[in-house]
Amino acid sequence: MKTHTFRLLSIAGLAASALAVCAPALAHDGYWHHPGHRVVVVRPAPVVVYRPYPVYYAPGPVVYAPPAPVYYAPGYAPNAVGTIGGAIAGAAIGGIASHGRPGAIAAGSVIGAVVGSTMPR
């Protein structure tokens, strides 16, 4: 069998299957017509279930405590200049010593920032 014919028969089979699935099985009007007697199908009444409404609670009030005051000793304050200067110097030294390798530049920058942040103390 050729591929074209096989595809056509496959599509026709799928279409027939879809039509058969969509059609209600043994559809009737509630009565089965038999000679001599009549059978009535009685379906139970639908049941209505009442569910309670969902209850949504508003979130409680949020109270934020004020931050604790920070006191510095005289002559001591966080020094960003030492950290930044140390990072720049460490990056420059790491770049020169390693001939521009990115890992050494990053490591020198971190080590220089740590050393530079301790200088003002």
- Provide DSSP, 54-77: P--PPPPPP-PPPPPP----TT--
Q: Digits of tens for pLDDT over the chain (121 positions)?
A: 678 788 778 887 867 776 666 665 555 555 555 566 666 667 788 888 888 888 888 888 888 889 888 876 665 556 777 788 888 888 888 888 888 888 888 888 888 888 887 875 5
d(CA 121, CA 116): 10
Element (H, E) at 79: none
What pLDDT, on a 0 to 100 scale, did the predictor assign at position 76? Answer: 55
Calculate Rg over the CA atoms of the chain: 42
d(CA 95, CA 108): 8
If one counts every other C-beta atom within 10 angstroms of the C-beta of residue 98, the result is: 14
Report CA 100 to chain centroid distance, whole Å.
Answer: 40
User: Which distant-in-sequence residues (6+ apart) come within 8 Å of 59 by Cβ?
Assistant: none
